[in-house]
């Protein structure tokens, strides 16, 4: 079990999922009307909310515990089955009201079918958790890739033959069905119906799971409150510009933190009593994330106007102004997003929940104040709220693994010095104006930025120099 091997297979699977998303955007969008996509988006509002309470944090508890009994796994499995069926039943029960709320009758059939994903995914949640606990990410990657491939092929065929939104529904159902089947075959563990509800076993993980579930609710509300507030008090144009800037910020951030969190959790859980091992592993992981995110987001902030104009069009100029503040916010969030993995591995979901409440108060307060002014102030206050939240969150994280904020600074300061040099180079290149061709100018700036950052980080970081030397020797 090692971090690099875990991350390699998680990254491979995640890359394939991103390619599937691109296929959905590029090809299926050509075959399905915006209205049909809108119906699926309405259904996903319900599905995403249901996903928050599907397993009540029990899958994470299976991975986190040092020792685990068959009775506990069995109790978690049957609880997940119960929750999956219950959520599906509630969706079916409230489908007419939901369709009426959205003024879309076609949504009823979509919700009735898509509710089946909850029993399907719940039936294999324990099996997936056991495979992750054992760091069998190669097997998981194969399962996820084959399931994603089959589901997107089905969706493309159905969209081609005119099934509209139901091709997207079929994609979700096939994905969950094939994943569940393969996870059952991939894991040797089997449930025992005679011990279906072993409540004494569930009580052992209640504190961990309850706090984690509450944190997920808080985090869900916090992450969606900005769109709700902008949508309520500002125009659709401003919300659209902000949403695009947020997606640009989130795309690399989400992929990196997903890979890091999923890869780290079983390793940190295994060594949960060895703070030296946890601290080194965590700081190494944060170093790699910052090595990618800091120059990427800083470059985005400096080159935002050209990037947005070339990629999205000049009509999105407001998005480029918002990116000036959302780009550095992504740097702060790239580190904060990994903190949950450490708190979960150390079984301190109580502290995670408390810090989640603090984050919610800071961010929602920033949104409420910012919306009184303009969207740039809104984004600026969002950044400030994240910086303030960073200090207590990272202080307590480093404290529970026997470290402090100085350890984090010592590990990463060379990245920020190299980044400052890169920003200086980018500003100089942009001011020199070597060419009037905007695309060529952007390419020259990107190449210059990458070159300056690479040279600087090699000179300043002994870790990078050791890695470069090892690669040269291997070649």
Q: Which domain, by its residues, includes 341?
A: 207-474
Question: Does residue 211 sit in the same domain as residue 200?
Answer: no
Could you report the per-residue pLDDT of 207-246, keeping only the tens digit for each?
777 777 777 778 877 877 887 788 778 876 887 788 778 8
**Looking at the 3D structure of the chain, how many domains does it have?**
2
- Whether residue 117 sits in one domain with residue 224: no
Say yes or no: 176 and 247 in one domain: no
Per-residue 3-state assignment (H helix, E strand, C coil) for 8-77: HHHHHHHHHHHHHHHHHHHHHHHHCCHHHHHHHHHHHHHHHHHHHCCCCCHHHHHHHCCCCCHHHHHHHH
Residues 198 and 261 in one domain: no
The whole-number pLDDT of residue 314 equals: 79
**Same domain membership, residue 314 and residue 442:** yes
Same structural domain for residues 165 and 247?
Answer: no
Which of 204, 237, 269 is the C-terminal boundary of a domain?
A: 204
> 142 and 235: one domain?
no
pLDDT at position 349 is 83
Which regions of the chain are under pLDDT 70?
1-14, 16, 18, 21-30, 34, 37-38, 41, 45, 55-56, 194-199, 201-202, 236, 251-255, 258, 260-262, 433-436, 471, 473-475
Alpha helices in 271-316 (DSSP H): 275-302, 304-311
Q: Choose one of 167, 184, 204: the last residue of a domain.
A: 204
Burial zone of 462 (CB within 10 Å; 0-12 exposed, 13-18 middle, 19+ buried): exposed
- 12 and 160 share one domain: yes
Say what the pLDDT of residue 160 is. Answer: 86
- Asked whether residue 104 falls in the same domain as residue 246, the answer is no
Which of 182, 204, 226 terminates a domain? The answer is: 204
Is residue 305 located within the same domain as residue 404?
A: yes
200 and 211 in a single domain? The answer is no
Whether 136 and 66 share a structural domain: yes
């Amino acid at each position: 079990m090692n971090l690099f091997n875990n991350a390699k297979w998680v990254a491979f699977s995640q890359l394939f999922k991103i390619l599937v998303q691109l296929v959905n955007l590029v090809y299926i969008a050509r075959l399905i009307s915006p209205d049909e996509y809108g119906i699926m988006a309405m259904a996903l509002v319900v599905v995403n909310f249901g996903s928050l309470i599907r397993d009540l944090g029990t899958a994470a508890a299976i991975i986190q515990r040092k020792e685990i009994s068959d009775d506990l796994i069995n109790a978690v499995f049957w609880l997940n089955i119960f929750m999956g069926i219950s959520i599906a039943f509630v969706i079916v029960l409230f489908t007419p009201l939901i369709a009426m709320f959205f003024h879309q009758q076609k949504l009823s059939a979509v919700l009735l079918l898509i509710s089946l994903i909850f029993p399907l995914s719940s039936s294999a949640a324990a099996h997936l958790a056991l495979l992750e606990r054992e760091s069998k990410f190669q097997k998981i990657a194969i399962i996820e890739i084959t399931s994603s491939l089959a589901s997107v092929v089905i969706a493309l065929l159905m969209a081609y033959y005119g099934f509209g939104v139901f091709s997207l529904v079929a994609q979700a159902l096939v994905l969950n069905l094939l994943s569940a089947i393969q996870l059952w075959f991939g894991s040797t563990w089997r449930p025992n119906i005679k011990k279906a509800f072993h409540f004494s076993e569930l009580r052992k993980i209640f504190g961990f799971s309850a706090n984690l579930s509450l944190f997920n609710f808080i985090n869900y509300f916090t992450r969606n409150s900005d769109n709700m507030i902008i949508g309520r008090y500002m125009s659709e144009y401003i919300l659209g510009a902000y949403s695009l800037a947020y997606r640009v910020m989130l795309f690399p951030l989400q992929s990196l933190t997903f890979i890091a969190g999923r890869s780290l959790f079983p390793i940190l859980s295994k060594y949960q009593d060895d703070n030296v091992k946890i601290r080194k592993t965590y700081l190494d992981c944060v170093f790699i994330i910052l090595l990618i995110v800091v120059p990427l987001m800083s470059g985005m902030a400096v080159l935002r106007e050209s990037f947005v104009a070339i990629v999205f069009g000049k009509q999105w100029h407001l998005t480029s102004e918002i990116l000036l503040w959302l780009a550095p916010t992504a740097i702060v969030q790239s580190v904060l997003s990994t903190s949950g993995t450490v708190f979960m591995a150390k079984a301190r979901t109580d502290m995670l929940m408390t810090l989640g409440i603090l984050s919610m108060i800071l961010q929602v307060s920033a949104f409420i104040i910012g919306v009184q002014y303009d969207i740039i102030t809104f984004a600026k206050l969002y950044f400030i709220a994240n910086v303030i939240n960073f200090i207590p969150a990272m202080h307590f994280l480093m404290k529970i693994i026997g470290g402090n904020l100085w350890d984090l600074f010592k590990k990463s300061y060379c990245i920020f010095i190299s980044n400052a040099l890169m920003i200086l180079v980018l500003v100089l290149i942009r001011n020199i104006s070597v060419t009037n061709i905007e695309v060529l100018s952007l390419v020259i700036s990107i190449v210059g930025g990458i070159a300056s950052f690479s040279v600087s980080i090699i000179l300043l970081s002994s870790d990078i120099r050791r890695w470069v030397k090892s690669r040269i020797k291997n070649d």
